[in-house]
């Protein structure tokens, strides 16, 4: 496979005019120069596949219903989104249509589903398009321990939208589930979540969290708690700006060495373009420290995004001897030939619409 550039190795070095040989899904060779018998992507840059670690897929069926509503009014337990999803969500054909057009660009997704009976259906659709799909959902009643077990059986794990609604007597059940499958939660999305101590409520009661989402409101010591318990923080800055006019303290998370991933949140309110979120994260970091290296930012986000959704067999880098996990992006459309910082240009200028193809193992999915 011939490409214009490769983001190579764990240091994210740039190799120009190069080729990649993949055999049985494993990267066998990376070297300078183009070869005659390979597929040609001579205007592409090959980068490690970054995953969308947090979306809500079901509300894509009612786009822009969020306009005119605050966060509780739209996404709260008594908000508009939930009855709309219940009303329209049985249109199963729509979700395949949406996934095949808006989410085909991703090799991996972490989806918080409002209706846990849909977990298997969504996984089947995602598998059809070669997407590693983690479905996380919650019970209809937070006080019903049998429903937690049913969700864990039918889905990829538990996704808790509001930990403050989980009663104390359920925490033992949740802790047991978290030892054998993924449990994730929204934390610090609102002041109420923060003031009631949503993160420590779960962690100190033995719940092993794989990742937490948002973290707009957090105490300084809570970042250290994330590191201590090896929990990924998934930021969704576009959503936070829209609903709260406030962003998480990304720079503090960075300086505390928190694993930092990104998600696009509600698909009915925001275009699920991970590069918009990466651009905002990168901008927040550089505004605090202009000397932060772009390579380190993209490497951390890519590594953490895979970790957040529990994908253990795919690397966060492109290197010989490892399974292929590659995005091919149109280098010409983001003007990489003139860039002073190619990794910086990817984070600032790329869009999912610039993706040409993606490769997982021996499977290539063309996006144009």
DSSP states of 162-208 as a string? -GGGS-GGGHHHHHHHHTTSEEEEEESSSHHHHHTTHHHHHHTTT--
At residue 78, the pLDDT reads 87
Percent of the chain predicted with pLDDT > 70: 100
**pTM score over 0.75:** yes
The candidate with the shortest Cα–Cα distance to 83, out of 70, 98, 92, 73, is 73
Residue numbers of the chain with a pLDDT score lower than 70: none
CA distance 139 to 183: 13
Residue 363, strand partner residues: 360
At residue 37, the pLDDT reads 83
Phi-psi region of 17 (alpha: psi -120 to 50; beta: other; left: phi over 0): left
CA distance 129 to 103: 9
At residue 132, the pLDDT reads 94
At residue 184, the pLDDT reads 98
Backbone angles phi, psi at 257, to 5 degrees: 65, 35
At residue 368, the pLDDT reads 73
At residue 88, the pLDDT reads 87
The gap from C-alpha 128 to its chain's centroid, in whole angstroms, comes to 19
CA angle 345, 348, 353 (to 5 degrees): 95
């Amino acid at each position: 496979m011939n490409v214009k550039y490769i983001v190579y190795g764990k240091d994210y070095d740039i190799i120009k005019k190069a080729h990649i040989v993949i055999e049985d899904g494993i990267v066998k060779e990376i070297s300078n120069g183009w070869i005659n018998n390979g597929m040609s992507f001579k205007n592409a840059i090959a980068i490690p596949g970054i995953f969308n670690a947090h979306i809500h897929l079901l509300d894509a069926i009612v786009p822009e219903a969020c306009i005119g509503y605050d966060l509780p009014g739209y996404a709260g337990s008594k908000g508009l989104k939930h009855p709309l999803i219940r009303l329209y969500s049985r249109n199963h054909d729509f979700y395949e249509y949406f996934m095949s057009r808006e989410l085909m660009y991703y090799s991996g997704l972490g989806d918080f589903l409002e209706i846990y009976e849909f977990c298997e259906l969504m996984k089947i659709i995602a598998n059809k398009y070669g997407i590693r799909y983690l479905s996380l959902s919650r019970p209809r009643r937070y006080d019903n321990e049998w429903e937690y077990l049913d969700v864990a059986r039918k889905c990829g794990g538990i996704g808790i939208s509001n930990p403050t609604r989980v009663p104390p007597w359920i925490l033992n059940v949740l802790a047991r589930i978290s030892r054998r499958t993924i449990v994730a939660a929204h934390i610090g999305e609102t002041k109420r979540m923060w003031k009631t101590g949503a993160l420590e409520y779960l962690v100190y009661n033995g719940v092993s969290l794989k990742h937490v989402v948002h973290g707009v409101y957090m105490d300084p010591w809570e970042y250290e708690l994330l590191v201590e318990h090896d929990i990924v923080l998934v930021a969704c800055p576009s959503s936070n700006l829209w609903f709260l006019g406030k962003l998480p303290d990304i720079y503090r998370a960075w300086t505390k060495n928190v694993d930092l991933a990104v998600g696009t949140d509600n698909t009915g309110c925001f275009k699920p373009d991970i590069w918009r979120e990466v651009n905002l994260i990168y901008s927040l970091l550089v505004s605090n420290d202009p000397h932060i290296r772009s390579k380190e930012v993209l490497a951390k986000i890519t590594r953490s995004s895979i970790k957040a959704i529990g994908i253990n067999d795919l690397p966060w880098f492109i290197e010989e001897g490892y399974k292929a996990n590659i995005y091919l992006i149109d280098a010409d459309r983001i003007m990489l030939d003139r860039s002073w910082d190619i990794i910086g240009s990817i984070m600032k200028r790329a869009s999912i619409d610039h993706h040409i193809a993606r490769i997982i193992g021996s499977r290539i999915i063309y996006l144009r």
